Structure 1
């Protein structure tokens, strides 16, 4: 099985796919033997690999949802977030026409158990490499942004994460969300 490098500021460790899966599912025994930061880095790399490599159809072509530019322009105010903030539209304030125009039903779904992200029992620091739109289908999470401000997201909320935002996730109820990442 090919080895994946997990790089930590204090150490470098090689994990194979099964060990990465164990870390992701929270069953790894090695986690207690090394800094949890390295485990989180391994999970982030595996998660990104899954995000980057799982959107292929039978012909090997990527099936990506493309939100119409007109929808992005029309709902620009709703889908923008200032740097180092999370913009949340609460369930009762969401415009259903916006969700339809943004093709939310076609976005991929992501899920995690309670704890860190994904499925670790420690808070998980994540850097959004692209701008992300999310609609929480089930559950809730606390997202802490730079400066220590905690933002709660719950079932039905629509959240916007700006590109390059580094935030810490704690899943407080099993979470399922639709998400869309883009650079515009």
Structure 2
């Protein structure tokens, strides 16, 4: 079951059938080492699947974070400006659309 907060949609531990249907394993990969904190703006809609990692995403203007971690399938809306606070190295598949 997916949840949504600040326009960010998170599905915890989606079934392999969902990942296969979306073609997640063929998406490009991105890895960030070491853990860090940085601003980011999504210029397109981005779907990603975290293979490893733990991140708190703080949308601009909010003190509240959206937490994502390994096993999460996440969709970030186009135009979202935020700060990524990476506490555990991230390894993810990602896909840009729109």
> TM-score band, normalised by the shorter chain?
0.7 to 0.9
Greater share of residues in strand: 2
Deviations 1:67-99 (A, max 9, x none): xxxxxxxxxxx6xx67x43211112xx132221
Aligned to 1:160: 75
The reply to whether residue 175 of structure 1 matches residue 90 of structure 2 is yes
Aligned to 1:98: 18
8 A contact 1:111–1:177 mirrored in 2: yes
Greater C-alpha Rg: 1
Q: How many residues align?
A: 95
RMSD: 1.7
> How far apart are 1:177 and its partner, in Å?
0.3
Greater share of residues in helix: 1
Query: What secondary structure does 2:71 align onto?
Result: coil
**1:1-184, aligned counterparts within 5 Å?**
84-91=6-13, 94-116=14-36, 123-146=37-60, 147-183=62-98
Structure 2 gaps, min length 5: none
- Normalising by structure 2, report the TM-score: 0.86
Structure 1 gaps, min length 5: 1-77, 117-122
Tell me which stretches of 4 or more aligned residues in structure 1 moved more than 6 Å.
none
Query: What secondary structure does 1:100 align onto?
Result: helix
